[in-house]
A and B are shown apart, each in its own frame.
Chain A
Amino acid sequence: MAQVSITVNGKRRSADVEPRLLLVHFLREHLNLTGAHVGCDTSQCGACTVLLDGRSAKSCTIFAVQADGAEVTTIEGLADGDRLHPLQEGFWEEHGLQCGYCTPGMIMSAVNLLNDNPAPTEQDIRDGLDGNLCRCTGYQHIVNAVQHAAGRTREG
């Protein structure tokens, strides 16, 4: 067993874990944060995307021990109390989801994108979400949702 201490959504969380425990399972099963989903489990679909030290990462492809001492943000850490994050609001307003399974990962990737590029073009958004698969929407409403959020963020 290995002792890990990871700051998740601003709170320091410590546990004894097996080194082979994946970060996504640490979040879901040890911390009960079930927003990061296990989709393909092969580093392709992006449903497990979280921010690791501020940058998007697929938590199914990282061992929890690798994140010891790091900061992790999950979808549960975005809203400010009852006030949705601009990207959550964008997905709500623009109907950016159908079944919702990919949505937490889509939003975390979009956070990474807007941090790097606050005013993305449509192509920038499609490139920025290249690591996330959605099998319902055809992506257009997701692009609209990110554009909505980018506009809101710029308005401040």
Chain B
Amino acid sequence: MIPTAFDYARATSLDDAIARLQAAGGAGKLLAGGHSLVPLMKLRLSEPAVLIDIGHIPDLAGIRESDGVVEIGANTRHHDVATSALLRERCPVVADTAAVIGDPQVRNRGTLGGSLAHADPAADYPAAMLAVDADLHLKGPGGWRVVKARDFFQGVFTVDLAADEILAKVTFAASRASAYAKLHQRASRFAIVGVAAALETGGGIIRTARVGLTGAASSPSRLAGVEAALAGQPATAAAAAAAARGAGDGVSELNADIHGSAEYRRAMIPVFTRRALEAALARAGG
């Protein structure tokens, strides 16, 4: 399958890429790992006139931590997130999530920023970004702006990102007691239901909980009912199971396709919520 012809440019910096986006006047598209965009272009569902390759911009990839805040560059590939010793130790939910995206070849090419900006409703990363309450750093012609993950995702393939802005990095506070659990589509590995949990525990008590859901509905969301039910509870599997019960009840706009009906997805949300919570609790220090 051959995409529509386009002009190709390699951006040398974020500002260069922004200038090229502006010059393209809405007909330009950013290319990072290309593992969402290129398949769409081959199907001619996307026909950009100009492709601006941001894959070679220096310093746009990498994982670092300072003062408890983790930063991941937008061009960081899923494989590098999945195998990051820093993330495995300090914020395992993010590494967990990257490790179960697609397959090894996809993880070798796909990027964090590309996945978030594309916002496929069945993508894995959005749940993790909600659970760690990530800040998404966007750069445009007027400079930088920061959007919370919970405000960034607005609907199917729709995010708070202007046509001349670039998602450059994400930052979040490390959360040790965190994990991701998903029911995956057997062939594509996309999430039918994916749940990411990040807990703050102390003295055997769950102080706060954040739980992100993806795959199940038209856009990712926090499971506020589960979070409220967990706060102040003992940090035990029994408390996790009790909080997870009914986790799917309030979720609206459930997806339905050949891989699972809306009812099936609603039934699976508590199951994978419980699994994510149990895995997160197993990593809690006390």
Contact = CB atoms under 8 A, between A and B. Distances in A.
Given A42-B39, A42-B42, A57 B105 contact: yes
Given A49-B105, A131-B102, A131-B104, A19 B38 contact: no
A17 B39 CA distance: 20
A56 B55 contact: no
Interface in A35-76: 41-44, 46, 49, 52, 55-58, 61-63, 65-66, 68
Given A61-B35, A62-B38, A65-B8, A43 B2 contact: no
A127 B51 CA distance: 33
Contacts of B55: 66
For the residues of A in contact with B, the DSSP-based class is: mixed
Nearest to B187: A44
A113 interface: yes
Interface residues of A, number: 30
Nearest to B2: A20
- Residue from A56, A62, A66, A113 whose CB has the most chain B CB atoms within 10 Å: A66
Contacts of A66: 31, 34, 53, 55
B104 A128 contact: yes
B108 A43 contact: no
Contacts of A20: 2-6, 41
Nearest to A20: B3
A61 B3 contact: no
A112 interface: yes
B67 interface: no
A15 to B, nearest CB: 14
A56 B105 contact: yes
Interface string B1-26: 11111111010000000000000000
13 contacts: A18-B5, A19-B6, A20-B2, A20-B6, A46-B103, A55-B79, A58-B105, A63-B8, A63-B51, A112-B108, A127-B104, A131-B103, A131-B105
B188 A61 contact: no
B109 A57 contact: yes
A131 B1 contact: no
A112 B55 CA distance: 21
A19 B109 contact: no
Contacts of B105: 46, 49, 56-58, 109, 131
Contact of A44 (B4, B31, B188): B188
Interface string A90-101: 000000000000
Contacts of B109: 52, 57-58, 61-62
Given A43-B35, A44-B187, A130-B103, A56 B8 contact: no
A2 B188 contact: no
Contacts, number: 76
B223 to A, nearest CB: 29
Given A18-B5, A44-B187, A44-B188, A63 B108 contact: no
Nearest to B39: A43
A73 to B, nearest CB: 13
Contacts of A49: 105
Contact of B104 (A2, A18, A52, A109): A109
A101 to B, nearest CB: 17
Contacts of B188: 44
A105 B39 CA distance: 19
Contact of A62 (B34, B79, B102, B104): B34
Interface in B35-88: 35, 38-39, 41-42, 51, 53, 55, 79
A57 B188 CA distance: 16
A18 B6 CA distance: 9
B106 interface: yes
B96 to A, nearest CB: 14
